[in-house]
């Protein structure tokens, strides 16, 4: 952390100081990502589309008091912000880079700097996977490799780190020297060279030379000597730029003499076998990938590990465990029996070729489709570029090509040899005509520049459409919320449980409603649920009840608050926050008072208090526990015992914390059955969705969810005939059987087979006959007036889910949360 006066000195700023000197821990560039206003300095960077100065007013209102602004910011404007400090500089971006370069100089740790046209992020993430047991590693988040991303990455360094791994990307000359001052790499890695961002350079050689400027002061450079331009440029760099100093080169090659000589690459049973020679000794590696890009990236990583002194046998063992880097290409199940490869991360010739290699590996469908946007930066004319693209598509045997963008549309004649082609000017135009494209039984590759927002297309292709629907009455949720709020004591806060897809009812749709009605907190089970809410614009505090170590990055990125329930979890998150330079991060402490599931136990409390008293990285938002049987009069004594144990433990925790924490233990049933333990906040779960174990309260609630399906076919069955699998259903008389579009894959329990379950057809309760199938169920509708296509109620106001749960020997929680995601949710307000 640095004082604001120290920062002013580093960035050579003139300041308008209107308050005492403050301490800065956090850098902010995006007003939407504010976490800690009191210790944040906002850099008001002016870009092509946005002027950061326009967000000063908003941030000041949110508590930010330190701002770096340019010389155009009028001193008169500072009068609007009496408590603010404004540091004025000629160039805000340069000031950001200067500050983070100064921060980097404070640490003497080895740093790996990675550049290249492709593979930077994969190599960085794989090096992290391979070296995380040897070093405490700080690395670029995602692909933070730009003039802005690199400073944000380097700002993460703290004294606990023993190795840094940072990416650097450029799009025009004179950019890399700025990043080199920030990263100051001791080990350089040059992954590959290609055409991405080539328009800013005269030729490929100029781009290589510019990228090499990252390594002007490095001790070592690792690179592939197979590319003639790359090899020659590196040799000249060594003799001209680094002449006379101690600079080492570590090369690998399949063709030329190199430090690591690749002697063979073979693919067998889903593995790539790599044979090499290093210092006259053979090395054998196996990686769980078969595409060319992964092989090259793995060899590059091997070079780094060899230089760091890792034994070849250990390297070989580690390579077998490499995992995919999910932020790039993804393979998902799509609509109409399609497979969707989503690589809408970048669009250039090299990455396109690699993605097409992956597409070609997929054997589940004969038909292969490519959806491609304009390639924005290639360094070629449009005619030359798309002629090359068309040639590659022909070689890769693409059956259907969909081009999106004005430039690719102008060159449509280049694709005349592909069987099916169609072009759209924009993603919006494609979406308008999406359903006329008839995607089915094919593998579809999405490859688009970020500007085209192909995630919209991905959503359409991956959307699950099913004639069985779950209707959610938003008015009923509001009514139920109000019902429970009226039962609360004055000042008691409310946390709404939206975990498990809001008990099957939906995600952000429910959270939006709760936010509108000003609940105090939301709670989800896992981090990805919270991420979806944040992406949908939910700004309420969100507690994550089952946080995992692998999700720490996204917890912080999306301002999600984890539950800490064990010393292992506490230590892991504490270490993560310290490595990230984050203090006072909001967390929730879980106590086990009798549930015997998660939480710190009674004998853990002294050590827990000691740990909380000596760390500054946590801000304890709440302390809470779970009641095991608050709905049952048989266990009221146990509930009271839990409550007493909880309050005693809370008192001990509160004694070591110099601010007031929120306590909560009451769930839906305890709100009205145990009012004395409402404490500071309650957690409203299943009651919000219209279910309560107390008949008196149940009468006050409204039904929220109605599961509906339709009749696929009606048949007349003779007496004695069997129906369904295993011939379990036998018609006792001539009957009429309706097959409906719901089965156990949709969440309809198989225990409801053979007359146990009932559904409503034309308002009549009719029994299930035969076994419930995966996708269908048969009903005996004898004597009921019905037709194919008619609506069928599986549960709802007139056939409550609680009744269905009893028949299925289950509970409403399980029924609601078990409704499959392929069942479409429909929301309505009356």
**Residues belonging to the active site:** 499, 725
Considering only CA atoms, which of 731, 713, 712 is closest in space to residue 721?
731
Strand, coil or helix: 748: coil
Q: How far is CA 427 from CA 326, 345, 352, 452, 620, in A?
A: 24, 15, 19, 6, 45
Report d(CA 744, CA 226) in Å as an integer: 56
Buried b (16+ CB within 10 A) or exposed e, 319-358: beebeebeebbebeebeeebbbbbbbbbbbbbbbbbbbeb
Provide CB contacts within 8 A for 825, sequence distance 6+.
469, 470, 471, 472, 505, 506, 509
Report d(CA 44, CA 28) in Å as an integer: 9
188 membership: H or E segment, kind and range: strand 187-190
Residue 30 has φ and ψ, to the nearest 5°, of: -120, 115
316 membership: H or E segment, kind and range: helix 312-319
Provide CB contacts within 8 A for 427, sequence distance 6+.
373, 404, 448, 452, 453, 454, 456, 457
Say if CB 766 and CB 776 are below 8 A apart. Answer: no
Q: How far is CA 735 from CA 479, 711, 742, 768, in A?
A: 43, 16, 21, 13
**Crossing angle for the helix pair 474-485 and 508-516, nearest 10 degrees?**
50
Number of Cβ atoms within 10 Å of the Cβ of 570: 20
CA 819 to chain centre: 23
Using the structure block, give the residue that is written with the tokens 């099913």. Answer: 466
Instruction: Determine how β-strand 281-287 pairs with β-strand 400-404.
Output: unpaired
Query: What's the start-to-end Cα distance of the chain, in Å?
Result: 54
Using the structure block, give the residue that is written with the tokens 């998660």. Answer: 598
410 membership: H or E segment, kind and range: helix 406-410
DSSP 633-644: GGGHHHHHHHHH
Report d(CA 563, CA 611) in Å as an integer: 16
Report d(CA 559, CA 573) in Å as an integer: 14
Report d(CA 697, CA 168) in Å as an integer: 60
Report d(CA 139, CA 157) in Å as an integer: 9
- Residues recorded for the chain: 830
Report d(CA 752, CA 747) in Å as an integer: 11
Report d(CA 109, CA 123) in Å as an integer: 19
552 membership: H or E segment, kind and range: helix 552-557
Report d(CA 475, CA 483) in Å as an integer: 12
Bridge partners (DSSP) of residue 271 are 268
């Amino acid at each position: 952390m640095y004082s604001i006066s120290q920062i002013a000195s580093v960035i050579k700023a003139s300041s308008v100081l209107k308050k005492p000197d403050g301490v800065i821990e956090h850098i902010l560039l995006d007003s939407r990502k504010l976490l800690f206003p009191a210790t944040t300095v906002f850099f008001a960077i002016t870009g092509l589309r946005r002027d950061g100065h326009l967000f000063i007013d908003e941030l000041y209102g949110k508590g930010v008091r330190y701002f770096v602004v340019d010389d155009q910011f009028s001193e008169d404007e500072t009068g609007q912000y009496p408590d603010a400090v404004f540091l004025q500089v000629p160039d805000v971006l340069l000031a950001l880079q200067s500050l983070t370069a100064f921060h980097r100089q404070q640490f003497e740790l080895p740093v790996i700097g990675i550049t290249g046209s492709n593979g930077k992020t994969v190599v960085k993430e794989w090096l992290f996977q391979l070296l995380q047991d040897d070093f405490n590693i700080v690395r670029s988040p995602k692909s933070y490799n730009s003039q802005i991303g690199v400073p944000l990455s380097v700002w993460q360094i703290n004294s606990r780190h023993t190795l840094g791994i940072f990416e650097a990307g450029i799009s025009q000359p004179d950019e890399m020297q700025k990043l080199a001052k920030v990263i100051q790499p001791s080990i350089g890695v040059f992954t590959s060279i290609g055409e991405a961002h080539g328009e800013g350079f005269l030729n490929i050689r100029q781009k290589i030379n510019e990228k090499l400027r990252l390594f002007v002061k490095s001790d070592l450079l690792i690179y592939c000597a197979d590319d003639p331009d790359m090899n020659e440029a590196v040799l000249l760099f060594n003799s001209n730029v680094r002449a006379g100093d101690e600079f080492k080169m570590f090369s690998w090659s399949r063709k030329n003499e190199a430090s690591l000589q690749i002697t063979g690459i073979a693919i067998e049973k889903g593995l790539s076998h790599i044979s090499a020679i290093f210092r006259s000794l053979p090395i054998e590696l196996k990686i769980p990938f078969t595409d060319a890009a992964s092989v090259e990236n793995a060899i590059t990583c091997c070079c780094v590990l060899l230089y760091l002194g890792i034994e070849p046998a250990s390297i070989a063992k580690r390579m077998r465990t490499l995992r995919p880097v999910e932020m790039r290409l993804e393979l998902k199940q799509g609509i109409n029996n399609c497979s969707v490869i989503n690589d809408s991360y970048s669009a250039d010739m090299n990455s396109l070729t690699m993605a097409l290699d992956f597409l070609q590996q997929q054997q589940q469908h004969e038909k292969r489709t490519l959806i491609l946007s304009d390639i924005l930066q290639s360094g070629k004319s449009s005619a030359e570029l798309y002629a090359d693209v068309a040639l590659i598509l022909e070689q890769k045997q693409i059956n259907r090509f969909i081009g999106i963008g004005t430039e690719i549309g102008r060159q449509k004649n280049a694709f005349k040899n592909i069987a099916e082609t169609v072009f759209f000017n924009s993603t919006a135009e494609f979406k308008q005509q999406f359903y006329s494209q008839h995607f089915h039984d094919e593998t579809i590759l999405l490859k688009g520049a970020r500007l085209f927002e192909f995630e919209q297309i991905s959503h359409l292709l991956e959307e699950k459409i099913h004639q069985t629907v779950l209707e959610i009455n938003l008015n009923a949720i509001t009514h139920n919320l109000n019902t429970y709020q009226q039962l609360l004591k004055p000042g008691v806060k409310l946390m709404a449980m939206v975990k498990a897809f809001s008990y099957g009812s939906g995600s952000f749709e429910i959270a939006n409603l709760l936010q509108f009605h000003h609940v105090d907190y939301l709670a989800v089970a896992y981090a990805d649920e919270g991420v979806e809410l944040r992406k949908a614009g939910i700004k309420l505090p969100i507690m994550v009840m089952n946080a995992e170590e692998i999700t720490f990055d996204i917890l912080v990125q999306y301002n999600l608050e984890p539950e800490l329930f064990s010393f292992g979890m506490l230590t892991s998150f504490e270490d993560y926050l310290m490595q990230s330079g984050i203090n006072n991060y909001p967390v929730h402490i879980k106590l086990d008072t009798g549930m015997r599931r998660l939480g710190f136990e009674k004998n853990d409390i002294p050590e827990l208090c000691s740990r909380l008293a000596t760390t500054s990285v946590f801000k304890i938002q709440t302390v809470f526990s779970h009641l095991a049987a608050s709905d049952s009069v048989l266990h009221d004594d146990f509930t009271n015992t839990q409550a007493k144990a909880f309050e005693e433990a809370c008192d001990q925790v509160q004694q070591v914390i110099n601010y007031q924490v929120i306590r909560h233990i009451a769930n839906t049933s305890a709100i009205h059955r145990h009012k004395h333990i409402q404490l500071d906040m309650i957690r409203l779960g299943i009651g919000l969705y219209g279910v309560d174990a107390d008949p008196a309260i149940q009468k006050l609630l409204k039904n929220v969810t109605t599961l509906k399906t339709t009749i696929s076919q009606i048949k007349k069955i003779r007496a004695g005939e069997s129906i369904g699998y295993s011939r379990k259903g036998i018609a006792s008389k001539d009957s009429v059987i309706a097959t409906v579009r719901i089965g156990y894959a949709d969440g309809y329990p198989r225990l409801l087979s053979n007359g146990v379950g009932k559904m409503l057809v034309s308002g009549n309760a009719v029994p299930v006959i035969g076994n419930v199938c995966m996708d269908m169920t048969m009903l005996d509708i004898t004597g009921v007036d019905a037709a194919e296509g008619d609506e069928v109620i599986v549960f709802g106001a007139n056939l409550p889910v609680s009744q269905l749960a009893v028949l299925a020997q289950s509970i409403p929680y399980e029924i609601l949360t078990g409704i499959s995601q392929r069942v479409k949710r429909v929301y309505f307000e009356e």
